[in-house]
Homo-oligomer: A and B are copies of this chain.
Amino acid sequence: MVKESASAFDVLRAYLRARASFSDQEMDFIRTMFRPATLLAGEFLQRAGTVAKDAAFVAKGCLRSYVIDAKGKEHIVLFAPETWWVADNVSLTSGRPSDYFIDAIEDSDLLLIDSPSHEAVVEKVPGYASGHRKGLQRRTAAQNERIVSSISASAHDRYLRFLETYPSLATRVPQSMVASYLGVTPETVSRIRRKLARK
């Protein structure tokens, strides 16, 4: 019987060390602030209408965050495969009910951290704080790019951009979810893929 070689925290440690330096004490402190969790495909981390309690780091698997609009249609806002974070920061810090659903689309290993604990890590570990700030900025920049691309690019070009953003996901997530992320119908994704395959 072979033991699982990498714990969820090993993934987070590698992720953090790639971004800043941490002493062993800092790393141990960080570890105590997160709690591991697993989610089977289809299980929810959070539902719209409830108050978000935790932010999640995805060590293995893949989650999605989505909203349901006035007409009942799902719109995927974010995929979170390995080494991505997913949370509704507004709900977390304001205590107001969230507009977002977050569920697992594969069996997933997570590390959860609640808002006060995250505050504590940010305050006590300078390298973590600066990395966190940079991460927020990257996300804002990425959101602006997605806005520009979604108002200016064709479905075909938006699909190519999706492939760049999530290189591993094209074959991992159902086509209907790719469609929901791109804002097109599943039929359109099918036709885009056929066109790309023919070339």
Contacts and interface: CB of A to CB of B under 8 A. Distances in A.
Interface of A: 67, 69, 73, 75, 77, 89-90, 93-94, 133-134, 136-141, 143-144, 146-148, 150-152, 182-183
Chain A, interface SS category: helix
- What is the oligomeric copy number? 2
Given A143-B140, A143-B143, A148 B90 contact: no
B146 A147 contact: yes
A148 B67 contact: yes
A101 to B, nearest CB: 13
Contacts of A133: 93
Contacts of A183: 150-152
A49 to B, nearest CB: 16
Contacts of A69: 148, 152
A178 to B, nearest CB: 12
A182 B152 CA distance: 9
A148 to B, nearest CB: 5
Nearest to A88: B141
A20 to B, nearest CB: 15
